[in-house]
Amino acid sequence: MAVTGKSIKKLSSKARDIIDEYFEGVWSGLDGGPPLTLHKMEGGRMDKTYFLFEKPDNLTRVVLRGSAIQEYNSKIKDTKTKKADERAKTVVITKYQQLIRSGWYETEEEAEESGGVVTLPMRYKKLRDHSDKLSYPVVCQPKYDGVRAMWNPIEQALVSRGGKVYDLPFISKQIKASGLKNVWLDGEICYESPKRLLQEVVEGVSAKDEDLRFFIWDLITHTKDIRVYRDRIAHILKYTKDILAVPYLRVSEMVICNDPHEVDEYYEEMVLRRNFEGTMVKDMSEPYGWDKRVSKHLKNKIEFEEHMLVDYLLFDKHPEYEQIASFQVLAKRPSSEDHKAFKCIPAWSHAERHELFKMRTLVYAALGKLTVLVEHRGYSGDGVPIHAVVKTPFKEFVDAIKKTIEESISKIE
C-alpha cells in the first residue's frame, strides 16, 4: 500500500493516541517495551525502529533506536513537569511524521508492499568537491537565501528538508486551488528581493509574512519519479502557466552554461552584482534522488569566517524561556571604512541564549573588548554580512568574558 494523505493522517492520529496513552501510564525503560514501532525495507531486508521514553526527575528523555538509523535523543527539561511532557509529545510526533516521509511504515506488511516510499527532497553536495562529476552543458540557478521546502501533494502542505510542515496558509491555499496540487514542487521559501535577507529563518518562518515567495526549481510527478533533470525541466515549462497564476509562486531563473568558465562568470554575476548567496549548478543527466545527497546537483556559495567586535546584546521573547539573547556586532566591509552594526544570532541552543541573557551585566562590563567568530556569505550592497551566524562556542565565549573582566580588575589593582 502506497502512502496516501489519508493513511498519513490516520497514522499520525494513531501515533498521538498511542503516545498520549503511554504518557498518562507508567514510564518505563527498555524493559517496558516500545510504545510505537516502525518498519522499513532496506536492501531486501526488514528493518525496525522504535521510540523509548524515560522520565528521570524533571527531565523528559525521548529516544529513537533502530539498526538503520543513528540513535536520536531529545532531553527536555522544565521546572513544570507537565509542560515538559507536552513538549516531549510534540518531539515524538514530529519525529514520527518525519520517519513516515522517509519511507517507514507502521506494519511489516505495508513496508514490504511499498518497498519504502520516501517523500523528502533531494540534497546537494558542494561544487568545490565534485566539479569533476559534471557533464556540460549544465543548468545554473541563483542560490536563494531562504529555507528549503517541498510542496507535498500527499499531505497538501509545504514541508521542510527534514520533514517539518511550514505553516504558510497564504501559499498552501492557493496551491490547493491550482493545477499544481497533485505534483511535487521542490524549491526555496524566501523574499523576492535578495537585498531583503531572510535572517529570521533561524527563528522560524512566519505564517503572517506574506512578503515570502516560494521559488520552484524542480517538479516531480510522483514518488517513483526519478527522471533526469532535462526531462523534469520540460515538465516545469509545461506547468509554468499554472505556477505564474499563483501570486506567491515563482519559477527559478535557469541559465545554460557550456563550460566551467561560464559557470564562474554566472557565479560572479549572482554574488557580486545581484547579491545572492551563491549559485546552484545542475547536471541535466541527474535523476531525482529522494532524500539523497546527489553528486551532480551542486551548490556553490561563498563562505567567510572573521572575528567581529560585540557592540551590544539584543533580546527576544521566547515561549519556553523568559528571554533569549542575540548579538549586535560591528562589521567592516573590506572596501569600506564604515562599520555596520547588525543583529547576529548565535548558533547556540535556546537554553544557552537564555544564559547569555541572564549574564548580560557581565557582557556589558566587557563590551569593547569582546569579539566573536562570525560565519557569513559575503557582504550586501549596504555593507552588511549576508546570512551571518555567530560560531564561537558558548563555553568559549563565557570564558572570554571572565578573562576580560579579570584582566580589567588586575589593571585597576
pLDDT for residue 32 is more than 90: no
Mean pLDDT, all residues of the chain: 77
Q: What is the pLDDT of residue 200?
A: 42
Give one DSSP letter per residue of 10-74, joined into a string. HHHHHHHHHHHHHHHS----GGG--SEEEEEEETTEEEEEEEEEE--TTEEEEEEEETTS--EEE
Measured CA to CA in angstroms, residue 263 lies from 30, 123, 273, 282, 294 at distances of 54, 20, 15, 11, 19
Question: What CA–CA distance (Å, rounded) separates 201 from 188?
Answer: 12
Question: What CA–CA distance (Å, rounded) separates 55 from 171?
Answer: 40
Q: What is the pLDDT of residue 138?
A: 95
Question: Which of 133-137, 163-167, 385-389 has maximum average pLDDT?
Answer: 133-137
What's the average model confidence in pLDDT over 285-302? 85
The residues with which 145 forms a beta bridge, in sequence order, are none
pLDDT for residue 158 is more than 80: yes
Question: What CA–CA distance (Å, rounded) separates 331 from 310?
Answer: 10
Return the ∠ at Cα 281 (arms to 346 and 211), rounded to 5°.
Answer: 50
The residues with which 41 forms a beta bridge, in sequence order, are 46
H/E stretch holding 101 reads helix 81-101
Question: What CA–CA distance (Å, rounded) separates 17 from 1?
Answer: 23
pLDDT band at 99; cut points 50, 70, 90: confident
Q: Is residue 267 classed exposed, middle or buried when 0-12, 13-18 and 19+ CB atoms within 10 A define those classes?
A: buried
pLDDT for residue 305 is more than 70: yes
C-alpha cell at 305: 569566517
What's the average model confidence in pLDDT over 250-266? 92
Question: Which of 200-214, 244-258, 373-387 has maximum average pLDDT?
Answer: 244-258
pLDDT for residue 334 is more than 70: no
Phi, psi of 324 (to 5 degrees): -125, 155
Measured CA to CA in angstroms, residue 230 lies from 2, 233, 263, 288, 296 at distances of 27, 5, 18, 11, 13
What's the average model confidence in pLDDT over 201-226? 73
Share of the chain above pLDDT 70, in %: 72
pLDDT higher for 78 or 243? 243
Q: What is the pLDDT of residue 383?
A: 77
Tell which CATH architecture fits domain 304-412.
Beta Barrel (2.40)
Rg (CA), the chain: 24
C-alpha cell at 203: 527563528
pLDDT band at 74; cut points 50, 70, 90: low
Share of the chain above pLDDT 90, in %: 23
pLDDT for residue 194 is more than 70: no
**Segments of the chain assigned to CATH 2.40.50:** 304-412
pLDDT tens, residue by residue, 161-172? 877 788 788 888
Q: What is the pLDDT of residue 76?
A: 56
Tell which CATH architecture fits domain 135-301.
2-Layer Sandwich (3.30)
| Lowest-pLDDT choice from 30-39, 229-238, 301-310, 364-373 | 30-39
**Segments of the chain assigned to CATH 3.30.470.30:** 135-301
